[in-house]
Amino acid sequence: MPVTRMQAAPTTTPIRERAAGTDYEGHFRNALERLHGERRYRVFADIERISGRFPTANWRRPDGRTTEITVWCSNDYLGMGQHPDVVAAMTETARRCGVGAGGTRNIAGNNSPLVDLERELADLHGKEAGLVFTSGYVSNQAGISTIAKLIPDCLILSDAFNHNSMIEGVRHSGCEKRVFRHNDLAHLEELLAAAGDRPKLIVFESVYSMDGDVAPIEKICDLAQRYGAMTYLDEVHAVGLYGERGAGMAERDGVMHRVDVIEGTLAKGFGCVGGYITGSALLCDAVRSHAAGFIFTTALPPAIAAAARASVRYLKRSSVERAAHQRQAARTKAALEAAGLPVLPTETHIVPVMVGDAELCKAAADHLLERHAIYIQPINYPTVPRGTERLRITPSPFHDEARIAKLTAALVETWETLDLPRAGTLFVEAAE
Ligand SMILES: Cc1ncc(COP(=O)(O)O)c(C=O)c1O
């Protein structure tokens, strides 16, 4: 079974015995059976990354045997999770400060490396302040909901393809919302004009992680200015990767100063864990003082904050990784396209190879792992709309020519074995 099972403590009465007349466990069984029926039950690969040999990892098979594999789907886009400066900052700080934060920010958990990290992030995005959360997910959920809640009568305008964490932030705010068609400026303008004078918050991403397309940030800022709206931009799939100092797409486009709130993660391009918002000192202070998802949870530990700061600082100075990342992503795309594989054209580092069927997508991923020691997680509904299931490939600077050639041959063999649709034969539907 893919779930990790533990022996129940002997004193615990199993749910099914306790619940006379009510089959509590039956509800969980039914819920899982529904997922199996829809062919979208998720199985996690049990892997252990090998520090210093990115993107190699050991895969522990269900039978306990171990196989060395190449990971082609990590969001540690630059391999910074194994960078010597980052590992050194974490281990040195853990030795000096211990491992946990010891409390919430309010009660004993505030720590100097975390305060320094927030200053580093504010500087990265050219803002007055930064506020760190335990993940990018929490930063969106707590950030958007709190910001919108603090503005009386706020209307939220949200891109149709926004990540679940942003959708949850919008929902938790309790504010009225309008969803604009993905990257559709005319539709956004129509909604802004119809909203009249009331306060408005536009929430959107820079790089959309599944299709790899980019928002027209400058034009959205123009509209925000014209109609008196605030802007909140998720740069989760761009921080570390784009811009002269790795601040993301808004930096690349020279419009960082025009975005009111820039949100990011420390988990992907920066290779650690945690999330943040940056903005005016007043806004960050207000979120710090009101967001339940910030107040009532233990702070990020000092060793993680120090590692994240080391990563941010390193990538502010060095563009070598960014250039190599773009180069290897372009080479991967070119190789797969030349082999006739159905690559969704993207302008970014993300390489989606379309399958269009949940069961076949999982079969392709299983085959790649079993037969070729290549790990690419299948991406199925609800992460992407039904009919657009795909393998989402994320090349890094460390996926060299030999690995790209091996990946291409493995995908071609998989496509032939499973008789999967080739380039030009697959109709990619718009999002639901
Ligand atoms: C667009 C976007 N925002 C936020 C998040 C959440 O970030 P984190 O993984 O740091 O929680 C994700 C996660 O994949 C994401 O894709």
pLDDT single digits (tens) 374-398:
999 999 998 999 999 999 999 999 9
Write the CB contacts of 60 (distance below 8 Å, at least 6 apart in sequence). Answer: 46, 47, 48, 66
CA dist., res. 308 & res. 271, Å (int): 8
Q: How far apart are CA 83 and CA 61, in angstroms?
A: 27
pLDDT at 402 over 60: yes
Contact between 154 and 175 (Cβ < 8 Å): yes
Q: Summarize pLDDT for 217-255 with one digit per residue, the tens.
A: 999 999 999 999 999 999 999 999 999 999 999 999 999
Task: Calculate the average pLDDT of the chain.
Answer: 94
* Model confidence band, residue 21 (pLDDT cutoffs 50, 70, 90): confident
Percent of the chain at pLDDT exceeding 90 = 90
Taking CA atoms, 359 is separated from 134, 363, 395, in Å, by: 34, 6, 24
Ligand 1 mean position to 234 CA, how many Å?
Answer: 9
For residues 309 and 113, give the distance between their C-alpha atoms in angstroms, rounded to a whole number: 8
pLDDT given at position 423:
77
Q: C-alpha angle 190/194/199, rounded to 5°? A: 110
Where are the strands (E) in 191-310, listed by range?
200-205, 229-234, 261-265, 275-279
Q: Which residue among 232, 265, 277, 311 has the greatest number of ligand 1 atoms within 8 angstroms of its CB, and so is best to mutate?
A: 265
Task: Say if residues 132 and 176 touch (Cβ distance below 8 Å).
Answer: no
61-78 residue pLDDT tens: 999 999 999 999 999 999
CA-273 nearest atom, ligand 1? 10
- For residue 6, what pLDDT band results from cuts at 50, 70 and 90? low
Tokens of 228: 């008196």
Looking at residue 347, what DSSP letter applies? S
CA angle 208, 211, 217 (to 5 degrees): 35
From the number of C-beta atoms within 10 Å of its C-beta (0-12, 13-18, 19+), residue 288 rates as middle
Residues 6+ away with beta carbon under 8 Å from 40: 358, 380, 381
Which helix (H) or strand (E) covers residue 130, if one does? strand 129-133
> If you measure from the C-alpha of residue 302 to the centroid of ligand 1, how many angstroms do you get, rounded to a whole number?
22
pLDDT tier at 427, thresholds 50, 70, 90: very low
- From the list 127, 268, 333, 362, the catalytic residue is 268
pLDDT at 54: 97
268 is an active site residue? yes
Give CA–CA dist 429/222, Å, rounded: 30
Residue 76 CA, ligand 1 centroid: distance in Å: 12
pLDDT at 38: 86
* pLDDT in the model for residue 105: 97
Tell me the pLDDT tens digit for each residue of 26-54.
Answer: 999 999 999 999 888 999 999 999 999 99
Q: Which residues line ligand 1 (CB under 6 A)?
A: 135-137, 140, 163, 165, 205, 209, 234, 236-237, 265, 267, 275
